[in-house]
Amino acid sequence: MRRLLLAISVSGVLLLATWVQAPAAPARDVVAPSAADVASAEQTAQSVTPVARQIDEEAERLRLRLATQTPFTAPVRDPFRFRATRGTDPFSAGSAEKEPVPVVLRTPVSPAVVVPTLVGVTEDAVAGVVTRTAILSMGDDMAIVKIGQVFSRFVVQSIGATAVELVDVTSPNRAVTTITIR
């Protein structure tokens, strides 16, 4: 254990000494550009000049286009006021002459009854007595039910080999629905 601590200590001291003795920034050598580098830089600058001129011309054209202001046009409709036109007052004498718009009342439509889907039927024979269970699903819900159990708003009345009879407990006449395996 002492050797390990000694090795770690010596390594740490060497690392610290190296860090302290190292220069703050690497030394840079000043190198003069060669004639070929200067020539290629001038050639690049000359080839970019026409493109820069085109960009400046396009920017000036857009600046002039934005400087011309289009006249303000009043909106045709006001989404915050429910009047036929903007200039009319609903309480003026002229508004009494208009015919009232007939109101059509619609009777509410009752939502469609959502019936579970029969996924499967299982049978279990114990001492000669066969007990059936049904696997029902509706939307994201799934349940394994026996006769007399409730699933959603339905009570299981009977389970056959390929069909299940369900009683809707929310309907006034307790409607019976038969579903089969699909």
Beta-carbon contacts of residue 117 (< 8 Å; ≥ 6 apart) = 136, 137, 138, 179, 182
Average pLDDT over residues 98-114: 78
φ, ψ for residue 58 (rounded to 5)? Answer: -65, -40
The answer to whether position 126 is within a domain reads: yes
Residue 85 pLDDT greater than 80, yes or no: no
Q: Which domain holds residue 153?
A: 117-180
* Domain annotation covers residue 169: yes
CA-nearest of 150, 89, 163 to 121 is 163
pTM confidence score: 0.40
Domain total in the chain: 1
Residue 161 lies in a domain: yes
| 29 is a domain residue | no
Rounded CA Rg of the chain: 44
- How does the average pLDDT of the chain come out, rounded? 84
Closest CA to 115 of 65, 59, 163: 163
160 lies in a domain? yes
Per-residue pLDDT of 140-171, as tens digits, reads 899 999 999 999 889 999 999 999 999 998 88
Residue 19 in domain: no
